[in-house]
DNA sequence: CGATTTTGACCGGCGC
DNA sequence: GCGCCGGTCAAAATCG
């Protein structure tokens, strides 16, 4: 992904928090000061508009790339489905459902138990052969010791381990939103920045997000969808590469493109609206525009 | 009292 | 074959 194309809308830290109050000019202030102020506001307003335009363009480019990527992934799925599974012996009970559909969103009259069998079977094969793995960074309070990431889905924790490469414990979650959904995620604090939670998602949800509100109102601040890039450092307002990095996208269930787009838009919007610099600049720009209109009407 | 979390035990892969 | 390590299981503890 082209980093440079993204960097343009990353930095919203322009000092655009102009003194709006300054516009409440006292009556005895000179006209030239007013004109200067107006010019400045207009210039900044223009700059903001350009930033917004650029951001929209970048978003469109990203969306296009995502679409292409998803399409490519789907093609790969069809190819990979012919490849033989690797080792790892299956449990005995798997034989009972060996004729079941593996891969693909198997639809059917299968019972919940069958779903679980399939789920486990699929899961095992996916971990070896094909798996969609994405990594997401979340900003949290450094003092927050919980490994909870509010991403809109419901998760059930089934384990916690301290790994060798990172002293902070890694928590293991399974999707609890739907019984037949076997998406897993691992959450661990970043080695480099303890205030950043690294969530690694495996698999794809085969159901809609139960609560999209939660994903925006969560305690954790979303930083990026990204691959192996380092988590954003320093300013918490940084927005890293908004790309879902996947190792091999060949898991059976197809990605729901509208959902992904929606999620992407929500996450971008959430990141922007939570950025104090951006909101301040936006407020200043809107106020400036209103003020400008008032002046022209007079 | 059911649902959820915690945590030690267990399992399988992998490198030596 | 052995030990290490990551991942999962499941009984116990905790919570609402």
pLDDT in tens, A209-250: 665 444 444 444 444 444 443 343 333 333 333 334 443 333
pLDDT in tens, A14-61: 444 444 444 444 445 567 778 787 887 777 777 777 776 677 566 666
Residue A191 has pLDDT above 50, yes or no: yes
Q: How far apart are CA A186 and CA A184, in angstroms?
A: 7
- Predicted pLDDT at A88: 32
Contact A198, A190 (CB under 8 A): yes
Share of residues in chain A with pLDDT > 90 (%): 0
The H or E element that residue A121 is part of is helix A112-128
Which residues, in sequence order, are CB contacts of A90 under 8 Å at separation 6+?
A: A121, A124
What's the CA A205/C1' C9 distance, rounded, in angstroms? 23
CA–C1' gap, A156 and C8, in angstroms:
13
CA of A201 to C1' of C3 (A): 30
| pLDDT: which is higher, A50 or A259 | A50
pLDDT exceeds cutoff 50 at A69:
yes
Q: Which nucleotides of C are covered by protein (CB under 7 A)?
A: 4-10
Q: Higher-confidence residue: A254 or A198? A: A198
Chain B: nucleotides under 7 Å from a protein CB? 4-9, 12-14
**Contact (CB, 8 A) for A100 and A110:** yes
The phi-psi region of residue A161 (left if phi > 0; otherwise alpha if psi is between -120 and 50; otherwise beta) is beta
- CA distances, A274 to each of A12, A132, A281 (Å): 11, 29, 12
Task: Give the closest residue to B3 (Cα–C1′).
Answer: A156
- Give the 3-state secondary structure of residue A139: strand
- With tokens 């909870």, the residue in question is A148
Alpha helices by DSSP H, listed for A153-275, are: 212-217, 257-273
pLDDT mean over A78-100:
34
Mean pLDDT score of chain A: 56
Q: A107 or A296: which carries more pLDDT confidence? A: A296
Distance CA A198, CA A215 (A): 16
**A100 CA from C6 C1′ (Å):** 29
In this structure, of A69-73, A88-92, A198-202, the range with the lowest mean pLDDT score is A88-92
Residue nearest to nucleotide C10 (CA to C1'): A158
CB atoms near residue A251 (< 10 Å): 26
Task: Classify residue A152 as exposed, middle or buried by CB count within 10 Å of its CB (0-12, 13-18, 19+).
Answer: buried
pLDDT of residue A29: 57
* Distance, CA of A243 to C1' of C3, in Å: 39
Q: What pLDDT does residue A90 have?
A: 34
Residue A254 DSSP class: P
């Amino acid at each position: 992904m082209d980093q440079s194309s993204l960097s343009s809308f990353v930095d919203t830290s322009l000092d655009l928090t102009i003194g709006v109050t300054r516009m409440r000019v006292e009556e005895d202030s000179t006209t030239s000061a007013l004109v200067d102020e107006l010019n400045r506001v207009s210039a900044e307003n223009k700059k903001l508009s350009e930033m917004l335009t650029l951001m929209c363009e970048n978003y469109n480019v990203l969306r296009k790339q995502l679409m292409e990527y998803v399409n490519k992934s789907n093609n790969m799925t069809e190819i990979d489905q012919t490849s033989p599974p690797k080792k790892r012996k299956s449990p005995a009970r798997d034989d009972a459902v060996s004729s079941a559909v593996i891969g693909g969103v198997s639809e059917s009259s299968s019972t919940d138990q069958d779903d679980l069998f399939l789920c486990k079977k699929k899961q095992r094969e996916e971990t070896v052969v094909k798996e969609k793995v994405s990594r997401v960074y979340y900003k949290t309070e450094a003092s927050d010791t919980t490994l909870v990431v509010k991403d809109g889905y419901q998760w059930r924790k089934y384990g916690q381990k301290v790994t060798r490469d990172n002293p902070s414990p890694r928590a293991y979650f399974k999707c609890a939103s739907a019984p037949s959904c076997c998406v897993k995620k691992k959450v661990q604090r970043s080695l480099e920045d303890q205030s950043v939670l690294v969530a690694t998602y495996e698999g794809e949800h085969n159901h809609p997000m139960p609560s999209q509100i939660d994903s925006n109102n969560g305690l954790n601040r979303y930083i990026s969808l990204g691959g192996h890039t380092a988590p954003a450092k320093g300013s918490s307002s940084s927005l890293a590469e908004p790309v879902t990095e996947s190792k091999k996208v060949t898991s059976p269930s197809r990605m729901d493109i509208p959902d992904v787009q929606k999620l992407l838009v929500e996450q971008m919007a959430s990141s922007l609206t939570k950025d104090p610099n951006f909101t301040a600049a936006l407020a200043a720009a809107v106020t400036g525009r209103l003020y400008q209109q008032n002046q022209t009407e007079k």
